Structure 1
Amino acid sequence: MGDQEQYLSSSWSSAITGDHVAEIQVNNFACGGVAISVVVCHMIADGTAFIIFIQNNAYPMEATLMALTMPLLRSSRCTGRSIVFDASVIASLKVKATSSSVPTPTRVEVVSALLVKCIMAAFKAKSGIEKPTFYTHAMNLRRKATPPFLESSMGNFIRLAGVLCTDDENMELAYTVRKLREVKMKIDDDFVKDLCIDSSDEREQVFPNTIMLMDTKCSSGIEARVRLDKEDITVLEQDKELLVFASLDPSPIKV
């Protein structure tokens, strides 16, 4: 990612009074290609609002939308991979993850569960120790309110739903999906009404280990943008179970 940062608009790292709420940088290449980077203040828009703004106002339908969250990640030891799951693979994962507790797992739940399982295995392979792992989902609260907010509503409508997986727990897909569903079910309309937003914390936030899920062009598959420590990525991309279900770093034209 280091070589790509020169193409990102990043002249400011935190907002102060009088700053622009967004910056756009256009990069023209000798081959005739164009890359447009956009940075939006998080006080104005969360990831959902940002993506909808880009898709509806800035890019033509045939453009490739990639690596939206990378400007937030500044750890020099981290690197990213694109991991793509097609529709047929996701269907098979849903079958594996189905249980009496969660008879209809979602695409996001099964892909997230597999990635978490494989990433935990990578951590263990590198350190030799199976450590408890806490992972979170950024949930879109727009759909949780009654009546729901418009998907295009600007602002921060996100809440992290966290799941703790300890070393003595069964990390099969059905188990992980059930744990995630239990946490998600606690975030309902009453939760949204009672939510108090605290904007007083001004510490810089850096998230070196991240997974960003996006629809593929066919809208039935999922592209996962995974960013981990370089050593962890090296182990992850050799995970046999992951390679059965996913394609690593396919051409953006085919995603």
Structure 2
Amino acid sequence: MEMELISRETIKPSTATPPHLRNYPLCFIDHIVFRNYIPVLFFYSPNLRSNNHQTSSKISTLKKSLSQVLSRYYPFAGKLKDQLSIECNDQGVSFLVTSFRCNLSWILHNPTHASFNPLFPDELQWNPMKTTSTIVAIQINCFACGGIAISVCMCHKVGDAATLSNFVNDWAAFNRQNEKQEQLPFPVPGASFFPQENLPVFPEAAFVKNDTVCRRFVFEAAKIDSLKAMVSSRNVPNPTRVEVVSALIYKRAVSSLGLTFKTTAFRTAVNLRNRTVPPLPEKSVGNLVWFLFVSNAREETELHELVLKMKHGLSEFCDTYGKKFGGKNKDSGFITECLKQATAAPEPRGSDAEREESLLCCASWCRFAMYEADFGWGKPVWFTTSECPVKNSIVLMDTRDGEGMEALVNMEEHAMAKFERDVELLQYASLNPSVPHASLTI
């Protein structure tokens, strides 16, 4: 794709951050999180009457609304002061505008990560933040047909995918101009619930980049229903979409790569917002997640057994982390041990091959309001993210209808060559299909 950079500027908050808010403390989970960027990408179909004047007007409105929402998310316009805080100096966020000569349909009919890369600002996706970079960077990509793709990269240090989803949706609400600023709830800092206080300061967890390839697997709603029916029983009532898809990917990865469940654990990130006692506000800002590990003492395990382990594991997770991380049952000793384990270097175990393939990592972005991000031109026709350079990592997302799921799986090339050909996996998932409805909306 031939790209032209139209403009590059810095957008600052519409109102200055008051002095008493200039130092923004990070929560005790934030302080161990690495400083790489989380990338998100929203595709919008062209209006039938789209023209250059309308596109310019849209960009002008986007700048104004971004400035307004940054007054709410004022830490995003600051700079990282140290491992524990942000200096909210209103320096602003990077805002790029580009133009492409191709139509949006060119990408949507054949979505590849190679075609996504130019759509992100300064190739920041999943890369570490530099001292001169802004906490948030945005790129508005304009296509010949009038379609638009908006990419946002946010430093992981200041928040998780839920934080980023809330930020984009609040920006979209301001941009629609039918929500007044005072009607939107003010985001709540994660440190209000998970303060650092006297906890030890541990080093940031390492973000190990590998030479990986990424494949997109799409699970239609009917296929997910089949998986649910297959594992449902008295012991496994009402399995969720995330549970059955996660379990299937885990099982097929272990099988196709010649591993065993005994030596291969499954780690999934769990959103703490609705699992603490009491629950945290939906618009809490920060890395308000912790990790659930699923492992097995046996070398082979059936799918329904994996789903059951996930259910039991989540229940135990809520009874421990959900209660001991905050509230009246907060346990500082427990928190300290969790942070220590999360930042400790992995201990050698077994052969090199076994050590390399001992963990599959999953993050579910399902039920986040990514497809609600309507800037006034309709909801996104598609939402996705960039390939992640962490091997054996999986990101789960909703399809546009909210019933199916997309899984972005990242593996080393030799492992992916086996996994993407797994017959049992492909009974339920399609490998990189065109984006639904693209031909009808463009």
**Of the candidates 91, 108, 114, which is equivalent to residue 242 of structure 2?**
108
Q: Secondary structure at the match of 2:335?
A: coil
Q: Distance in 2 between the 1:22 and 1:216 partners?
A: 26
Give 1:181's aligned residue: 311
Specify the code of the residue in structure 2 equivalent to 1:185. Answer: S
Give 2:285's aligned residue: 154
Which residues in structure 2 correspond to 1:117-196 (within 5 Å)? 117-124=251-258, 130=260, 132-165=263-296, 168-170=299-301, 172-188=302-318, 189-193=322-326, 194=331, 196=335
Q: Which runs of 5+ in 1 are unaligned?
A: 61-71
The alpha carbon displacement at 1:229 in A equals 1.3
Aligned residues of 1:81 and 1:248 also touching (Cα < 8 A): yes
**Of the candidates 379, 390, 393, which is equivalent to residue 207 of structure 1?**
390
Aligned residues of 2:390 and 2:410 also touching (Cα < 8 A): no
**Of the candidates 155, 159, 163, which is equivalent to residue 41 of structure 1?**
155
Residues 174-222 of structure 1 show CA distances to partners (whole Å, capped at 9, x for unaligned) of 111111122211222313324637599599x963221111111111111
Aligned residues of 1:23 and 1:38 also touching (Cα < 8 A): yes
TM-score by length of 2: 0.47
Q: Secondary structure at the match of 1:168?
A: coil
Change in Cα spacing, 1:209 to 1:182, as seen in structure 2 (3 Å) is: same
The alpha carbon displacement at 1:108 in A equals 0.5
Which residues in structure 2 correspond to 1:4-15 (within 5 Å)? 4-9=116-121, 10=123, 13-14=128-129
Q: Distance in 1 between the 2:403 and 2:145 partners?
A: 32
Aligned residues of 2:390 and 2:411 also touching (Cα < 8 A): no
Aligned residues of 2:218 and 2:407 also touching (Cα < 8 A): yes
Q: Distance in 2 between the 1:55 and 1:84 partners?
A: 24
Give 1:66's aligned residue: none
Q: Secondary structure at the match of 2:213?
A: strand
Aligned residues of 1:123 and 1:130 also touching (Cα < 8 A): no
Q: Distance in 2 between the 1:87 and 1:3 partners?
A: 27
Change in Cα spacing, 1:137 to 1:180, as seen in structure 2 (3 Å) is: same
Q: Distance in 1 between the 2:213 and 2:274 partners?
A: 32
The alpha carbon displacement at 1:58 in A equals 4.8
Aligned residues of 2:393 and 2:410 also touching (Cα < 8 A): yes
TM-score by length of 1: 0.78
Which residues in structure 2 correspond to 1:53-132 (within 5 Å)? 53-58=167-172, 74-76=209-211, 78-124=212-258, 130=260, 132=263
Specify the code of the residue in structure 2 equivalent to 1:147. Answer: P
Query: Please, what is the CA RMSD of the aligned residues?
Result: 3.3
Decide which structure has the larger Cα Rg and report it: 2
Change in Cα spacing, 1:223 to 1:56, as seen in structure 2 (3 Å) is: farther
Q: Distance in 1 between the 2:406 and 2:325 partners?
A: 29
Q: Which runs of 5+ in 2 are unaligned?
A: 1-112, 176-206, 346-387
Q: Secondary structure at the match of 2:395?
A: strand
Aligned residues of 1:82 and 1:224 also touching (Cα < 8 A): yes
Aligned residues of 1:144 and 1:192 also touching (Cα < 8 A): no
Change in Cα spacing, 1:206 to 1:240, as seen in structure 2 (3 Å) is: closer
The alpha carbon displacement at 1:145 in A equals 1.6
Specify the code of the residue in structure 1 equivalent to 2:120. Answer: L
Aligned residues of 2:389 and 2:410 also touching (Cα < 8 A): no
Q: Distance in 2 between the 1:89 and 1:179 partners?
A: 22
Q: Distance in 2 between the 1:160 and 1:42 partners?
A: 16
Aligned residues of 1:49 and 1:151 also touching (Cα < 8 A): no
